[in-house]
Structure 1
Amino acid sequence: MPHCIIEYSAPLAHEIDIKQFVQLVHHGAINSGLFERSAIKTRAIRCGDYQVGDNHLGSFIHITIKIMPGRTDEQKQHLLSAVYDSVSPETTCVCSLTLEVIDINAAAYAKHLTCGH
């Protein structure tokens, strides 16, 4: 844990190196000091159909960080700050950058390892 999910407007792939951006989010989560490095999972989802306000050409990045419950609001804010600090230099071309931390419902979450990790 956590699951870092980056949703982004498709045209940003021409302005931002998405693989590098995934690494920046991942390193931000590592730099928070809240998780074991091996437990962090980061991925990006390209959104081809979207709208930002009234602007059909606006760009966005939304980063959702799903974590198991038990962290304090201060720890969650620290996590958001660590990720934001890591990615903000790369987002000057983005109209809307948003981040959120979501507690996973532990009773409705299952994890099965099949790769021997």
Structure 2
Amino acid sequence: MPHFVIDCSENILTLQQPDKIVQEVHKSACSTALFDEADIKVRLNPFKEHYLVGGETGDFIHVFANIMEGRTTEQKTNLSKQIVTQLKALFPAVPFIAINIRDFEKATYCNKDMV
């Protein structure tokens, strides 16, 4: 159920293999024990052009986490810190690494198995 969408500058893919990045975010999410491993989805979107970070086209990583409502603020804070800590370790020279977490509303969420 949880979706982790990683937006990054394309140059990030020259610093680490894409599969490694996806696996590390997956592993970090698993380490929080908030989700079943098989339910975690991670995607990577590199940007070659058409972006600015601080007014420039420098390197960046931003993770958009979409999770089902019901986790505490402390749990979400821990999730954020786990993922950013791992990405910081993988990319010590990247100046912009961030995450934000959005809650899915259970009442309005639907997938193909629910209809």
Cα distance in structure 1, aligned partners of 2:73 and 2:53 = 28
Other-structure match for 1:4: 4
Q: Cα RMSD between the aligned structures?
A: 1.4
Letter in 2 for 1:37: E
Report 1:1-117 matches (<5 A).
1-48=1-48, 49-56=50-57, 58-113=58-113
Tell me the CA shift for residue 107 of structure 1.
3.4
1:10-33 per-residue CA deviation (whole Å, 9 max, x = no partner) reads 122112222101100000000011
Segments of 5+ residues of structure 2 without an aligned counterpart are none
Aligned residue for 1:67, secondary structure, equals strand
Q: By how many angstroms is 1:112 displaced?
A: 1.8
Instruction: Give the paired residue count.
Output: 112
1:6–1:62 contact (8 Å) kept in structure 2: yes
- Quick one: distance in 2 between partners of 1:105 and 1:47? 29
**Aligned-residue offset at 1:46:** 1.2
Deviations 1:85-113 (Å, cap 9, x if unpaired)? 32221111212101111101333321125
Alpha-carbon displacement from aligned partner over 1:26-60 (angstroms, at most 9, x marks no partner): 0000001111111111110111221111223x111
Gaps of 5+ in 1: none
Displacement over 3 Å in runs of 4+: none
